[in-house]
Structure 1
Amino acid sequence: MAIRTAAVMIVLLFGAANYLVLDYAIERADSFVAETERTLVRNEFSHQIDQVVQYQSQISFWDKTFDELKDGMPGDAFVRDQIRDWMWADFGFSWMIFTTPGGEKVLGVHRGDKVSERKAREKLHWVSDLTLKAERAYREALSPDRGGWQVEGAKEDPDLLTPALPQIHVSGMRLIDRVMSIVVVQAVIPKSLYIPASRMQPTLLITVKPVSQKMLLNTERRLGVHDLGFTPIVTQEPGLVMTPVGADTYNPMVASWRPNMPGTFVWKSALPQIAMFVLVFAGVMLFVTLRFSALVKALQRSEAQNAFLARHDPLTGLKNRSGFDEEVRRAIRKGESRPFSILALDLDRFKAVNDRYGHAAGDAVLQTVARRFSERIGTLGSVVRLGGDEFSVLLTGAFSREALLDLAESLVRDAQTPIAHDGQLLAIGGSAGIAQFPDHGGSLHDVMVMADAALYAAKNGGRNRAVHAGDMGRDAVAEAGTARAA
């Protein structure tokens, strides 16, 4: 009896130990996956907010807008050409509101059409804290200069791949027209950053970019999460993971989704087998070994997948901006004086393909072009997709100007080759700009700026061509930079 009791106790203790260990491992796995997905979601929305800031700056940080506001609010021609036909049609800003800090003058544009002052002021009520912060940021950035005022310029960061902007904008996420939206507020200033004394009182520009269902679905696909949306911060629902996004303390909503939890799958598959294998000690030990091995592999695959998604573009499989930054830093660490080259590439007429044949055709074009570029570059360097129809190539080592031009022109021809999709031949083009380190800049930022200038020189020169930065004069560089800002 004592032996039987001891045997039963051993089996029970062994089973209990396995149960507790498995439960703890599953809890840790679920916690790890949830925390990783929180980081990915926060980073994704932060990237989207940065994009909206860049888009909005094309109006708020522009001489033409500053001059338009000299005598008051923008005129009908400006609203039609720059707000409706550009910012609304291209970027989808649902609201754009110009206002003085005290609200004496207000002009609102909703979905490309001017609205009454009353409606515009109603929207201003929901972002009043952001307008106050934007006004304060603007005034804190001013310093006396030449009888007027100078706005403090942006601090250059050599690792940034987008133009640095003066830090006078504020952003947040708000429920506007019952849709979660990205709100950006900034004082309108000229490119020179010089404000005449008579124009010190700023005009603020408020832009609202709705987070559409399509944007959420695209984010789901990129991050591999499910049921991504927004939920009140007080919501308590089992199985729902939430995280605040946008760093807006006045936003009562948080991002929420259904995480990829491995726990449910492991429980369903493991419990029946545990009940069977606890009867035989050796079988139980074998089961535990196999199950934990499978669990570790599942965690490794999950971690590898999340690490891959953080550094790669899910549509094309190419490295994204983060992966590109990492690749460049690795190349620079190998030797400060070791040369490298940057090829900036942009597809021509890609938007027309998207508009005419749909986003499935656009995705097919991006995937095919990415494959062609990767096959063309091979082991010479790395191809990255920076976003949209923008690509870049990093080549380490010394290359002659002629070799780089030949390679860039080959990539342009690869982009020009028609792509078969759904019984159609999709025709696009491409332009390329080339810059080399250290010939065209002493940092990554400088080389990227020169590559971008060469790219826009290629576009301005008729597209479907490659331009080397060394072939441009100062006037061409300045003109390309002005075209890019516009």
Structure 2
Amino acid sequence: MAGRAEKGRARRRRGVGTAIRMTAVLIVVLFGAANYLVLDHAIDRSDSFVIETERTLVRNEFSHQIDQVVQYQSQLSFWDKTFRELANGMPGEAFVHDQIRDWMWSDFGFSWMIFATPDGEKVLGVHRGEKVSDRKAREKLQWVSDLTRKAERAYRNALSPDRGGWQVAPAKEDPDLLTPALPQIHVTGMRLIEGTMSIVVVQAVVPKTLYIPAGRLQPTLLVTVKPISQKMLADAERRLGVHGLAFVPIVSVEPGLAMTSVGADAYNPMVASWRPNMPGSFVWHSALPQIALFVLVFAGVMLFGAARFAALVRALQRSEEKNAFLARHDPLTGLRNRSGFDEDLLHAEGAGKGFSILSIDLDRFKAVNDRHGHVAGDIVLQAVARRFSDRVGGQGCVARLGGDEFCVLLAGEHDRESLLALAGNLVLDTQLPIAYGAHLLLIGGSAGIAQFPVHGGTVHDVMVKADAALYAAKNAGRNRAVHAGDIENVASTHAA
């Protein structure tokens, strides 16, 4: 009996031990499963957050590039000289040589510029600075026929009778814009032109007065094509912190590839694609061995789980901080970008005190890129950014708005002489040679100065004045600084 009782107790102990072990195994399995599910969900959310953030950044980047092309094209399509040139037909040889080849092609890189009447009867095409046959120009127009129709409709919808002719509706002023407001008669799209994704802008040529004589009602449309080069994509990658940025057909299906439409063009069969920064893959590869160990050691599970979640939170924080920094800073130079500069401008305007803006463009920068490559161009931009930052110091904020365009914001009151002295020194900084291997790279710069509220009651007005002063400096021979109050004197002196 005692033996049977002992055996019974032994069986019960074994049963209890088995139940405890099974319960322990179940607890460990449940704990591991809970950790697995939580980690998987956190990784999925972090990956989704990173992808959506990068998607927004990519859309904003190409929207900004389209806006830049519209501004560049408007210098020719929204110009009295162009409107007069078209009075008797298509532009002449001198206009094509000076304004299209030596200016728009050389400075802005428009691969195609086509003047055409809506009916296609009159046409003039320039491809990479060289005039082409009417047949080739008309063939190219077929690829953007929907945009030309929209541009003609936009032009005619903007017209209203005035003084025996027609008046184009002016642009609505927006104090938050840093670029000149333009009449809403342009149409944009992104198309695959000659195997390269390109930004296309179409607009009727109109004078600055926006007055159209009765005999000039039929518009002449200007079509410009700006290819998105590998350098532009590489620069965008650096600015956004992504890699593999390219364009693929909208029907592409490839694992691990993030995509988004850009440009709001319904006829564009391509979308922007890139390889997103996915923290999940790294976390999985590093966490799985530890998760297996957690199942065996419960206490280690708790400690390691806390460590991994802390690491994940830190990774998310670093990702958010990086995205926040990229949203306001230029990744190449570390200076403020356009978004960050806009915030500083709004703060300066809201302070209710005076401020000054120095708009600076580099001269002969494109020649450095063409001759020595984009790496040399990046070194030039970084060197100029350091010089500008050292020069301005704590006086104000230096920003790179894009390409070779810089801006300086100086808060508070400044007299004209001190501003000209600072701008002159910044121009001199651009002229100092920059070492690149065995070469000394030489560029130059031009600067325009405007002050609030002397030259405008809004940020937009002051920026317009600063840009106007900058163009006056360029037109006067470059490598100089011009104050907004001296634009007319500089222009008359240069004309003389």
Q: Normalization by structure 1: what TM-score?
A: 0.92
What does 1:324-335 align with in structure 2 at a 5 Å threshold? Answer: 324-333=341-350, 335=351
**Residue matched to 1:376:** 391
How far apart are 1:360 and its partner, in Å? 2.5
How far apart are 1:353 and its partner, in Å? 3.5
Cα deviation code 1:72-124 (max 9, x no counterpart): 22333333333333323332222222222122223333333333333333322
Q: Indicate whether 1:360 and 2:375 are aligned.
A: yes
The answer for unaligned runs of 5 or more in structure 2 is 1-17
Question: Quick check: 1:220–1:226 contact (8 Å CA) kept in 2?
Answer: yes
Q: Give the partner amino acid of 1:28.
A: R
**Residue matched to 2:111:** 94
**1: CA distance, partners of 2:296 / 2:492:** 80
**Residue matched to 1:432:** 447
Q: Give the partner amino acid of 1:387.
A: G
Q: Indicate whether 1:450 and 2:465 are aligned.
A: yes
Q: Indicate how the Cα distance of structure 1 residues 245 and 198 shifts in structure 2: closer, same or farther if over 3 A, else same.
A: same
Question: Quick check: 2:476–2:490 contact (8 Å CA) kept in 1?
Answer: no
Q: Indicate how the Cα distance of structure 1 residues 227 and 190 shifts in structure 2: closer, same or farther if over 3 A, else same.
A: same
**Residue matched to 2:276:** 259
**Residue matched to 1:343:** 358
**2: CA distance, partners of 1:240 / 1:411:** 43
From 224, 227, 230, the counterpart of 2:244: 227
What does 1:53-72 align with in structure 2 at a 5 Å threshold? Answer: 53-72=70-89
Q: Indicate how the Cα distance of structure 1 residues 145 and 234 shifts in structure 2: closer, same or farther if over 3 A, else same.
A: same
From 217, 226, 235, the counterpart of 1:218: 235
From 123, 148, 163, the counterpart of 2:140: 123
Q: Indicate how the Cα distance of structure 1 residues 408 and 75 shifts in structure 2: closer, same or farther if over 3 A, else same.
A: closer
Q: Which moved more, 1:136-145 or 1:207-216?
A: 207-216
Question: Quick check: 2:231–2:374 contact (8 Å CA) kept in 1?
Answer: no
**2: CA distance, partners of 1:343 / 1:83:** 28
Q: Indicate whether 1:414 and 2:429 are aligned.
A: yes
Q: Which moved more, 1:26-35 or 1:43-52?
A: 43-52
**1: CA distance, partners of 2:247 / 2:445:** 38
Q: Give the partner amino acid of 1:397.
A: G
Sequence identity of aligned pairs in percent? 77
Q: How many residues align?
A: 478
What does 1:23-422 align with in structure 2 at a 5 Å threshold? Answer: 23-333=40-350, 335-336=351-352, 338-422=353-437
Question: Quick check: 1:433–1:451 contact (8 Å CA) kept in 2?
Answer: yes
Q: Indicate how the Cα distance of structure 1 residues 254 and 114 shifts in structure 2: closer, same or farther if over 3 A, else same.
A: same
Q: Which moved more, 1:158-167 or 1:102-111?
A: 102-111
**1: CA distance, partners of 2:303 / 2:480:** 64
Cα deviation code 1:120-143 (max 9, x no counterpart): 333222222111110110001111
How far apart are 1:463 and its partner, in Å? 4.3
Q: Indicate how the Cα distance of structure 1 residues 259 and 203 shifts in structure 2: closer, same or farther if over 3 A, else same.
A: same
How far apart are 1:148 and its partner, in Å? 0.5
Q: Give the partner amino acid of 2:55.
A: R
How far apart are 1:213 and its partner, in Å? 2.6
Question: Quick check: 2:476–2:491 contact (8 Å CA) kept in 1?
Answer: no
Q: Indicate how the Cα distance of structure 1 residues 177 and 357 shifts in structure 2: closer, same or farther if over 3 A, else same.
A: closer
**1: CA distance, partners of 2:479 / 2:228:** 34
Question: Quick check: 2:259–2:272 contact (8 Å CA) kept in 1?
Answer: yes
How far apart are 1:146 and its partner, in Å? 1.2
**2: CA distance, partners of 1:209 / 1:115:** 17
Secondary structure, counterpart of 2:440 in structure 1: strand
Secondary structure, counterpart of 1:331 in structure 2: helix
Q: Normalization by structure 2: what TM-score?
A: 0.90
Looking at CA atoms only, which structure, 1 or 2, has the larger radius of gyration? 2
Secondary structure, counterpart of 1:245 in structure 2: coil
Q: Give the partner amino acid of 1:350.
A: F
Q: Indicate how the Cα distance of structure 1 residues 388 and 214 shifts in structure 2: closer, same or farther if over 3 A, else same.
A: closer
Q: Give the partner amino acid of 2:50.
A: V
Q: Indicate how the Cα distance of structure 1 residues 86 and 394 shifts in structure 2: closer, same or farther if over 3 A, else same.
A: closer
How far apart are 1:461 and its partner, in Å? 5.1
Q: Give the partner amino acid of 1:2.
A: A
Question: Quick check: 1:453–1:477 contact (8 Å CA) kept in 2?
Answer: no
Q: Which moved more, 1:184-193 or 1:425-434?
A: 425-434
Q: Give the partner amino acid of 1:191.
A: K
Q: Give the partner amino acid of 1:420.
A: A
Question: Quick check: 1:457–1:476 contact (8 Å CA) kept in 2?
Answer: no
Q: Which moved more, 1:298-307 or 1:445-454?
A: 445-454
Q: Indicate how the Cα distance of structure 1 residues 299 and 417 shifts in structure 2: closer, same or farther if over 3 A, else same.
A: same
Cα deviation code 1:36-66 (max 9, x no counterpart): 1111111111111111112222221122222
